[in-house]
Amino acid sequence: MRIFLVATLLGVFLSCSLDSSPSSFEDDLVFLGKHTEVRILEAGTGRVAICPALQGRVMTTTLGPNQPGLGFVGRGFIQQPDSEASFHNHGGEERFWIGPESGPFSFYFEPGQAHSRDLWRVPAALDQGSFEVVASSRNSFLLERRMELTNLVGTSFQMMVKREIRSPSLQEVEDLVGPLPEGTVWTGFATANAVRNVGKVAWKREGGMPCIWMAGMFRPGPKAFAILPFGPGEGIAVFRDYFETVPDDRFALGDGFAVFLTDAKREGKLGILRDRAVPRMGAFDPDSGILTLIFFGPIEPTAPYMAQHWGLNLPEPFHGDVVNSYNSGGDPFFELESSSPALELEPGQARIHRSMTLHLRPADPAALPAIASRALGVDWKSVLAARPWVDES
């Protein structure tokens, strides 16, 4: 246990000390290239870096030459691949994971354990190991990996995972955000993440079902914030009590959206359940002027979704999360996450969860409100006015 704690603390120290200030995309590439293979996609005015050996992650992106890398790169754990940490946080703007994280069908705890941060451990199949590049073109890569995961009740899931990572076209982007004004810089990537049941047993409720869980780590800022839109309906729209209740000075609800301060200074998490979720979310850093957008889906409002709240006795383990945002309390990153419905698959069946991550910055900041309002389906002026951490006086 003592060795484990020392290794964990060393990894956290290295991660914080080496990632505390933004580096350029080129610096990130030099670092990554010393430790692993890097594949590059050209997208928009910028580039996208993919590391197949780091669990097939999209590691970071940039809007153009001599610009910062926009993804968090966990340099400490990349340099210390053999540490005994419970999570080798390599970072990345998109990683493939499987949920649920907690609850009676968790993949992240051992039977009989309390669901606490001290005992949480990422399954080896998700934490380490490579995806194989099985096809590539000028605009895309196809990666795959076979894995087996066992949940808390002992159900084994044998799966083949395939990830297509590609550059979106300008037309695809403008279909989502509207015409981009002249001089706008942008980049991004689109993924199709397929899970196939390659075992001999159907995945059903009684044994617990997995879900596809996509998470992206982005660099924070002192004024940066996430925007989580939600739809009409009854009941609570946004949950904020995953680890501790996110305080009122870091979170607010507006008309059809939540805002959440993502400065990486206090741990917290928000979530939107299937009843109110919509297939889009975003983040904005006022200092850099960069708007980040994620579009994903499909959402099925009546399908079972796995609950991501922590605890063994969840009242509704199949009425769970679709959208989450996590703010780190130390390492310099925040997350935007989406989940698929529970994978109720017969042998040979597969399900695909799609996601597109975009970063953009118009040459004229006055053009941003129209872009953000259309892309997120919310009124951007209302979003800015809702932030409780901003003193307008």
Domain assignment present for 393: no
Count the Cβ atoms, other than its own, within 10 Å of residue 330.
Answer: 12
Residue 198 has pLDDT above 60, yes or no: yes
The arrangement of strands across the sheet holding 334-339 comes to 95-99, 211-218, 334-339, 321-327, 268-273
Domain assignment present for 6: no
Domain assignment present for 85: no
Cβ proximity of 102 and 310 under 8 Å: yes
Please name the residues in contact with 177: beta carbons below 8 A apart, sequence gap of 6 or more: 293, 358, 360, 371, 374, 375
Residue 97: closest CA among 182, 189, 10, 212: 212
Residues 259-311 have pLDDT tens digits of: 999 999 999 999 999 999 999 999 999 999 999 999 999 999 899 999 988 88
Domain assignment present for 59: no
**pLDDT the model gives residue 3:** 34
For residue 144, the cross-strand partners are 132, 162
Q: What is the mean pLDDT of the chain?
A: 93
Please name the residues in contact with 375: beta carbons below 8 A apart, sequence gap of 6 or more: 176, 177, 178, 280, 282, 291, 293
Query: Can you list the positions of beta strands (E) in the chain?
Result: 39-43, 46-51, 57-62, 95-99, 132-136, 140-150, 156-166, 185-197, 211-218, 225-229, 251-254, 257-261, 268-273, 280-285, 290-297, 321-327, 334-339, 350-361
- Tally the domains of the chain: 1
Domain assignment present for 232: yes
Domain assignment present for 292: yes
Angle between helices 170-177 and 368-376 (to 10 degrees): 80
Higher pLDDT, 312 or 141: 141
Query: Per-residue pLDDT averaged across 377-386, rounded?
Result: 98
> What is the bridge-based pairing of β-strands 211-218 and 95-99?
antiparallel
Domain assignment present for 64: no
Domain limits for position 288:
90-386
Which of left, alpha, beta for 338 (phi over 0: left; psi -120 to 50: alpha)?
beta
Higher pLDDT, 70 or 4: 70
Query: Per-residue pLDDT averaged across 39-44, rounded?
Result: 98
CATH of the domain at 327: 2.70.98
The percent of residues in the chain predicted with pLDDT above 90, rounded, is 87
Query: Per-residue pLDDT averaged across 205-233, rounded?
Result: 97
Tokens of 212: 């596809």
**pLDDT the model gives residue 23:** 83
Domain assignment present for 80: no
How many Å apart are CA 24 and CA 64, to the nearest integer?
Answer: 10
Residues 322-346 have pLDDT tens digits of: 999 999 998 999 999 999 999 999 9
